Amino acid sequence: MKSVIFTLLGKDKPGIMEAISRTVRKQDGNWLASNFAHMGGHFTGFVEVQLPEDNIQPLLNQLDAMPELNIRLVQGDTQGASQTHKAALEIMGNDKPGIVQELTSVLHKFNINILKFSSSCEPAPNWGGQLFKASVQIEFPDKFDLDPLRQALEQIANDMVVDVEWQG
């Protein structure tokens, strides 16, 4: 059995997930994980499945045959990960250019891996502007000193007038 990951992007319409899951099942695949989103009339996401090695190419061929759906396939990394820890950050504040760049720059400076990043802008009811919100799940090595990272994130939060809350 091999773990493979495929990404997909296409015009959204009802039945896409059912068609993909049916195709995976026909190739004796086991659906391990997925993440999907709808943006601008398109459906996008990625899926990790495990299936017999001989069924990988037939799966890709069947997925490629789906109209208006772009698929990419990569082999999953099954090596054991080193000891790591996870934490979540919630960011919220008035929207302005540069919030994501500043945040990711600090995380990169500390060599922090971003596992999940989800963001949105929505009307701020009392302010008349846009409210930026982001949820970020990060991974850091065992025995990592979080204090310098927290201080750096607090500094950019103050500079950009956003709130950064730690969870976990």
pLDDT tens, position by position, 77-133: 655 556 889 999 999 988 888 999 999 999 999 999 999 999 999 988 777 788 899
Domain 2-75 identical in fold to domain 84-167: yes
Domain boundaries defined on the chain: 2-75, 84-167
Taking domain 84-167, whether its CATH number is 3.30.70.260 is answered by yes
Within 8 A by CB and 6+ apart from 162, the residues are: 91, 92, 93, 94, 99, 132
- Per-residue pLDDT of 10-46, as tens digits, reads 899 888 889 999 999 999 999 999 999 888 899 999 9
Kindly state the DSSP code that residue 82 receives in the 8-state scheme: P
pLDDT at 89: 94
Q: Percent helix, strand, coil in the chain (nearest 5)?
A: 30, 45, 25
- In this structure, are residues 3 and 76 in contact, taking their beta carbons and an 8 Å threshold? yes
Which residues are registered as beta bridge partners of 93? 132, 162
Note the pTM of the prediction, 2 decimals. Answer: 0.73
Q: Assign a CATH topology to domain 2-75.
A: Alpha-Beta Plaits (3.30.70)
